[in-house]
Structure 1
Amino acid sequence: MGIVEEAHNVKIVGSGEQVIVLAHGFGTDQSVWKHLIPHLVDNYKVVLYDNMGAGTTNPDYFDFERYSTLEGYAYDLLAILEEFQLSCCIFVGHSVSAIVGAIASIMRPDLFSKLILISASPRYLNDVDYYGGFEQEDLDQLFEAMQSNYKAWCSGFAPLAVGGDMDSVAVQEFSRTLFNMRPDIALSVAQTIFQSDFRHLLCHVTVSCHIIQSIKDLAVPVVVSEYLHQNLGGDSIVEVMSSEGHLPQLSSPDSVIPVLLRHIRHDIVV
């Protein structure tokens, strides 16, 4: 097993010729795709991996400087694709990984046939003529809460992000993977994500993008999906789902999985 494969817990399942790469967001790991995978393995080769810093990865491998920007994660993605000689893949990225995939596609557009971006945001902070959903004061309070009592913060943040009560299976699942992260790593990753601004790079994304968004999402307002659509450099399409929450593939699989499958199977018709 190579170092890249081991570090990211890379798993390849399925038997099809077309490659699909599934990339998870902050606070989760590859298990967030458990409802989608059974629908893919008969027709696709499915590549799963964990972002560095996820609770399932070795914290000793986490380089705080490398992962102080999302480019560090994009280089990891490209390293995985190159190690397994994967090209022209369908990339499905959730939350931060959606932007990571977009960055990687700018570096190596030949490796991606299309990007499916779930709950994606190029910037979380509000700005002049831009609504990202957060003021700096909101983020400062979030970081302070993470730092002062990480376990308590996880318990409060999970139901808000998922959009449910603490008794729901999805909330419990997200709480588990969130709490599995080492607190100092979780804080660093959260700061990198929430303080990032990749609006200037969107025009350089030439791979076709399918933007999928919940109607109600604590982290990403619906207007952000339209902003992505208007500013990406290649063809793009938006679908706003009736689901609520930032992890719709986990919290509303019955309605969300059919949407994802449709976007995986069908290209944008211009």
Structure 2
Amino acid sequence: MDTTTGLVLQAHNVRVLGNGGPTVVLAHGFGTDQSVWKHLVPRLVAKHRVVLYDNMGAGTTDPDYFDFDRYATVEGYACDLLAILEELCISSCIFVGHSVSAIVGILASISRPDLFSKIVALSASPRYLNDLDYFGGFEHSDLDQLFEAMKSNYSAWVSGFAPLAVGDDMDSVAVQEFSRTLFNIRPDIALSVAQTIFTSDLREYLGMVTVPCHILQSSKDLAVPVGVSEFLHRRLYCKSIVEVMTSEGHLPQLSSPEIVIPVLLKHIEHDIAV
């Protein structure tokens, strides 16, 4: 897809809500779509211009637009984000990114720091694989098993993965919601996106970031150990702050909105001394 054309907004299901004020861009993570922000959006629209979009490959987007080569790296998503900001003529925004989209925002800010006043990173990780002196949470064998399960029986994989990622049982509303958005994704696209995310290593870019970053993390997250947030804090060149919340799971804005939404609002609306 040519993201330089006006089709970019339609392709990413871009929505702009609110009554003016500072622009807040909300970006979702793997397996979800913009609906993952359903508890946050009503709290923002009175004071902010809110921009929502879907990453290419999400179940709400046209699978024919998914370019397997372009999205073999996280940089492809960063280019999409910059194209959306350009199309909307956004000169500055508060960017809120969940999971991989937090890193997408960080990458985009390196090339265009003028477009970002701050980045709020929720459940972010620059590398999921363990390494020397780095605990990302996964071994190569873990990822091999994950990818093989996705290939062999995607439905069964979703049924097992969703409760683990959310940190709740299959009957919970949050797990059912995450399962729904996972099932909406074409299985071959889901596998490709998962491979891109879980095998990426973007640690080298952290020292290039100049935009202030607010790092928010659940106290227990299957995908991102708490130590990763401290690693981000140490490695980011920019001013940064870490807040570990009492929530559990990788999608705390869905599973624990009563805890997470006030924290998100605090970091969106206030510049906290770092």
Distance 2:93 2:10 in 1: 21
- Matched-pair identity in %: 76
Matched, 1:127 2:131: yes
1:91 corresponds to which residue? Answer: 95
- For residues 140-177 of structure 1, the C-alpha deviation after alignment (integer angstroms, 9 at most, x for no partner) is 00000000000100000000000000000000000000
Counterpart AA for 1:37? V
Is 1:223 aligned with 2:261? no
Unaligned runs of 5+ in 2: none
| Partner in structure 2 of residue 14 of structure 1 | 18
Match of 2:146 in 1: 142
**What is the distance in 2 between the residues matched to 1:250 and 1:17?**
25
Superposed CA RMSD? 0.8
Residue 252 (structure 1) aligns with: 256
Q: Is 1:74 aligned to 2:73, yes or no? A: no
After the TM superposition, which segments of 4 or more aligned residues of structure 1 sit over 4 Å from their partners?
A: none
Corresponding letter in the other structure for 1:267: D
Is residue 2:241 matched to residue 1:264?
no
Measured in 1, the distance between the counterparts of 2:6 and 2:165 equals 35
Q: Deviations over 1:105-138 (max 9, x none)?
A: 0010000000000000000000000000000000
Instruction: State how far apart, in whole Å, the 2-side matches of 1:130 and 1:77 are.
Output: 29
TM-score normalised to structure 2 length: 0.98
- Do the aligned residues in 2 keep the contact of 1:235 with 1:268 (CA within 8 Å)? no
Amino acid at match of 1:110: D
* Residues 174-211 of structure 1, C-alpha deviations (whole Å, 9 max, x = no match): 00001100000000000000000000000001100000
Partner of 2:244: 240
Deviation of 1:257 after TM superposition, in Å, equals 0.3
Work out whether 1:199 is the aligned partner of 2:179: no
For 2:104, what is the secondary structure of its paired residue?
Answer: helix
Report the Cα offset of residue 88 of structure 1: 1.4
Where 1:173 maps in the other structure, the secondary structure is helix
Equivalence for 1:106: 110
Residue type of the alignment partner of 1:92: V
Q: TM-score, normalised by structure 1?
A: 0.99
Structure 1 regions of 5+ residues with no counterpart? none
Tell me how far apart the structure 2 counterparts of residues 243 and 57 of structure 1 sit (CA, whole Å). 30
